[in-house]
Structure 1
Amino acid sequence: MQTDKVIDHIVNWLKDYATHAKQNGFVIGVSGGIDSAVTSTLCAKTGLDLLCLEMPIHQATNQVNRASRHIDWLQSNFPNVKRQQVNLTPVFDSLVAAFPNVANEEERFMSLANTRARLRMTSLYYFAALKRYLVAGTGNKVEDFGVGFYTKYGDGGVDLSPIADLLKTEVYAIGKALGVNDEILRAAPTDGLWGDDRTDEDQIGASYPELEWAMKMQDEGKTINDFEGREQEVFSIFKRFNTMNQHKMLPIPVCEIPEMLK
């Protein structure tokens, strides 16, 4: 990958899109992870306004601190960057208290994790509407088009996706070239939806390099019978997530009414 040229291409794409859309800049949720760190830096490099939101919801302290230090770094390097903290913990707790109890605690826990992401999306669009900003997405290619590892109408609810054509390993390469903090480059990827330190690999069962390999194998038309051992296990994991999450990755289905019925 021609890293510097890719950076310039994305920055120019972001600036052109915002200018033609007659928007003043971007708003992004900064989590302390590599994807939001890279995306926010690319947005900052456009010279347009960038508002970085910190939106903790019972967040692990190390994630909060990484996000804060990254925004400090952005502000020390780019005069167009502003920050805003929105503590969503009491909002989330109030919403949980308003919901009825359910018998299946595991399903409830999963639903509430996705609710966190949707509260953050709502907050991003509040500020976007106030300032005429675009909500910048932070999903990479493996998450958005491989395993669908994001929340529908949560972190998947965005106006544009600057890094969605980059594999996770490519995002790390971009981050290193941009000068993103080492603590973010070293941190294990996590969606931050659980209030603890569980990683993406803990949830998925495979690392991003493994998932990138499986995605490539699927594109080449391979099947699970072409592999054995760990490769077969990883390919099976990838196929399961890819199949299960097609509803996120495909356009919303529209019930088309036959002309004869109109």
Structure 2
Amino acid sequence: MAKKSTIQVEKVNEHIVNWLKQYAINAKVNGFVVGISGGVDSAVTSTLCAQTGLPTLCVEMPIHQAQNQVNRGREHIDQLQKRFSNVTRAEANLTPIYESFKTEVPKSENEAKYNLSLANTRARLRMTTLYYFAGIHGYLVAGTGNKVEDFGVGFYTKYGDGGVDLSPIADLMKSDVYALGQFLQIPESIQKAAPTDGLFGDNRTDEDQLGASYDELEWAMLEDEQGNTAENFAGRQKEVFEIYKRLNFVNKHKMESIPVCEIPHQYRE
């Protein structure tokens, strides 16, 4: 069911690095800031930014973070700093702020909605932190979302990890990101780790939340782009396709422009 990446990694790498550098020059900014999670997307994104030669700040923002995620993130930053002299690091422990926030808002009786709102709050606290660092240094916030997440199933937090200045890997499928990560020699621990957003303070993976793997969702996204419907499939393929279509529909509000109520011309006279 999975589609193996067919990108020319060396050329794609060079293209993105040049695009990042030119965008920063045109925007007259000093460099980039990237939130490091210990996952493949942030590892690849930060490595791409580092290759521009422009200052690249890697920020850790733990909120009750699992130690293995913290360890992977630090391993990556350590490696990146050894390879690139333009890479710096910072850590902002957001756990106390998160806990303080929880004391100031009411707890919902709907536990599922309460937990999801808190998970999204974690992502939004991190977005605010990245923009603080970007502001004091004159940097751009580089997004870490891939194509399946950003334009397929909308698996990100609105105004959280979706709040960025530019998205260098958003036209790459997850399989492409892994191929690029292998080419860039990001730590093997990250390449092998099960993808997780780390927003719930437990061991749940992205697949646990989505109900399908990225390989499966990538397949479904490509089938959907070709105009196929659920009736074209059976068994697990049909199940995955329906999961993809449901997520794509319910998360459209993230992927489309914010609706604006346009005032009729006659009301302006």
* TM-score interval (norm. to shorter): over 0.9
Counterpart pick for 1:73 among 72, 79, 82: 79
Q: CA deviation at 1:166?
A: 0.2
Counterpart pick for 1:209 among 215, 231, 235: 215
| Residue 148 of structure 1: aligned partner | 154
C-alpha distance in 1, partners of 2:108/2:17? 46
Give a deviation string over 1:196-240, Cα, whole Å, max 9, x none.
221100000101110011001111111111111000000000001
Secondary structure of the residue aligned to 1:84 is strand
C-alpha distance in 2, partners of 1:199/1:106? 17
Is 1:173 equivalent to 2:179 in the alignment?
Answer: yes
Counterpart pick for 1:249 among 250, 255, 258: 255
Secondary structure of the residue aligned to 2:56 is strand
Query: Unaligned stretches of 5+ in structure 1?
Result: none
* TM-score with structure 2 setting the length: 0.97
Where do 1:114-129 residues align within 5 Å? 114-129=120-135
Give a deviation string over 1:109-142, Cα, whole Å, max 9, x none.
1100000000000000001010000000000000
Counterpart pick for 2:230 among 224, 239, 259: 224
C-alpha distance in 2, partners of 1:229/1:181? 36
Q: CA deviation at 1:106?
A: 1.4
Q: CA deviation at 1:183?
A: 0.3
Letter in 2 for 1:166: L
Secondary structure of the residue aligned to 2:143 is coil
Q: Percent identity?
A: 66
Q: CA deviation at 1:175?
A: 0.3
Q: CA deviation at 1:195?
A: 1.1
Letter in 2 for 1:238: Y
In the TM superposition, structure 1's runs of 4+ consecutive aligned residues that sit over 6 Å from their partners are: none
Where do 1:1-262 residues align within 5 Å? 1-262=7-268
C-alpha distance in 2, partners of 1:20/1:156? 23
* TM-score with structure 1 setting the length: 0.99
C-alpha distance in 2, partners of 1:33/1:101? 30
C-alpha distance in 1, partners of 2:117/2:63? 15
Give a deviation string over 1:53-111, Cα, whole Å, max 9, x none.
00000000000010011000000000000000000000000001111122112110110
C-alpha distance in 1, partners of 2:107/2:174? 38
* Total equivalences in the alignment: 262
What RMSD in Å do the two structures reach over aligned CA positions? 0.5
Letter in 1 for 2:156: Y
C-alpha distance in 2, partners of 1:39/1:70? 12
